[in-house]
Structure 1
Amino acid sequence: MGRLEPMYPQELDEGRRGLYEAITKGPRAAGRHFPLTGEHGELRGPFNAFLLSPELGGALQELGAAVRYRSSLTPRAREIAILLVAAHWDCAYERFAHERVGRSVGITEAELAELRGGVVPELDDAYERACAHLVRAMTGGDVDEEVWETWVPVVGEATVFELTTLVGYYSTLALQLRVFRVSPHAD
């Protein structure tokens, strides 16, 4: 489990138990493409660390659920964006989890290979292409005027807000996964 010991469901206090259930019984539990829990019910990926601080972990869990399940981003655009963040941070766990989700929403193996390298693939869909170029700029630290003027008219300012939130959230997870040494194979 990297640097953190697993927290098993039967050992959780009330605050941690509520967060555990929000993660394991919420929208992430339906149709998942990667395991949320290990063999003994311990949370995998970034979620075990959320239990260290249930108030903050709960807020992060809710933000992540909103980004994944309640934004206006299309599933492909969302997963392309997440995979570009994973590439920027070289985050193995995000790549492992979201390549699986990406395949389920139609991202091809060729597109996944380019995204792994942080490259925006040749995307036929103008909305996806705009989202990908905006995220690529955001992971570089800013959206300059040229990028803004080229891509924002395609997607609109509300999508830019959703994308900046997604980039911030998945960058936070990538940092936590790195610091706690969570890998897709170690937990």
Structure 2
Amino acid sequence: MPARIAGRLPGELDEQQAEVYRAITGGPRAAGPQAFPLTDEKGRLHGPFNAMLLSPPVGMAVQEVGAAVRYASLLTDRVREMAILVVAAHWNSTFEREAHEAVGRSCGLTDAELNALRAGELPALSDHAERAAIRAALALTRTGVLDDREYYHAVAEWGERGLFELTALVGYYALLALQLRVFAGEAPADPCAPPQTESGTS
């Protein structure tokens, strides 16, 4: 399904839209090496960021939540990227999967771990804290709730703040996946299709 809204060139933006644009392209997402481009060659925003320009007040708030969960969280880089990929698999979001598999590889995720996450499964993780976080992320995407064991296990490893940040991350990337379906033309998952397990770069 093609995108429903056109990308906007920087010169076409009004001042409120330009403020959101600058926050996305000039904030922490733009610092350091880029695992995936934020814009195309003409400066138009990629993926879910383009839709944020439709409502600058809401778009600014959404992008600020995203920056916080990615760059101001207690979660480690590996846990953050694995949790994002859990959400990507649940929503069958190609953009999220390809973008964050690239980031995940730069954080040390292996092909075996990426394949398990792509299939919606818990990777073979030896680190107890990582396992608790990804079990919680899988439960949140599958059922929308944590049972007492999952809750207290996650809190024991990450504290209440860490678990709050994990639930915020899961909710934020579910929101982006929804926006990608509505505005960017990503198709919903085919329930009859087998999970993809190929390895390699995105």
TM-score, normalised to structure 1, is 0.94
- 2:194 counterpart of 1:159: no
Map of 1:134 onto structure 2: 136
Question: Does structure 2 conserve the Cα–Cα contact (< 8 Å) formed by 1:93 and 1:182?
Answer: no
Q: What amino acid maps onto 1:53 in structure 2?
A: S
The C-alpha deviation readout for 1:102-160, integer Å capped at 9, x for no partner, is 00000001100110011010111111111100111111211012322443322221111
Deviation at 1:182, TM superposition (A): 4.3
The residue that corresponds to 1:72 in the other structure is 74
- Alignment-derived partner of residue 16 in structure 1: 17
Q: What pairs with 1:165-184 in structure 2 (closer than 5 Å)?
A: 165-182=168-185
In the alignment, structure 1 residue 53 sits paired with structure 2 residue 55? yes
Give the Cα separation in 2 of the matches to 1:152 and 1:67. Answer: 17
Which residue is 1:112 aligned to?
Answer: 114
Q: Does 1:6 align with 2:26?
A: no
Displacement of 1:78: 0.4
Which shifted more, 127-136 or 152-161? Answer: 152-161
1:26 equivalent in structure 2: 27
Contact 1:46 1:176 in 2 (8 A): yes
TM-score between both structures, scaled by the size of structure 2 = 0.87
CA distance in 2 between counterparts of 1:137 and 1:94 reads: 19
Which whole-Å CA distance do the structure 2 matches of 1:151 and 1:11 have between them? Answer: 46
Is 1:46–1:173's contact at 8 Å kept on the other side of the alignment?
A: yes
CA contact (8 A) 2:70 2:80 kept: yes
Q: Is the 8 A contact 2:85 2:118 kept in 1?
A: yes
- Following TM superposition, where does structure 1 have runs of at least 4 consecutive aligned residues deviating by more than 3 angstroms? none
Q: Is the 8 A contact 2:133 2:166 kept in 1?
A: yes
Contact 1:134 1:147 in 2 (8 A): yes
Structure 1 residue matching 2:47: 3-state secondary structure:
coil
CA RMSD of aligned residues (A): 1.2
Partners of 2:4 and 2:68 in 1: CA distance:
28
Q: Which amino acid counterpart does residue 163 of structure 1 have in structure 2?
A: L
Query: Please, which moves more after superposition, 152-161 or 166-175?
Result: 152-161
Amino acid aligned to 2:93: C
Matched AA of 1:45: G
What is the letter of the counterpart of residue 114 of structure 1?
Answer: A
The answer to whether residue 92 in structure 2 is matched with residue 90 in structure 1 is: yes
Measured in 2, the distance between the counterparts of 1:42 and 1:182 equals 16
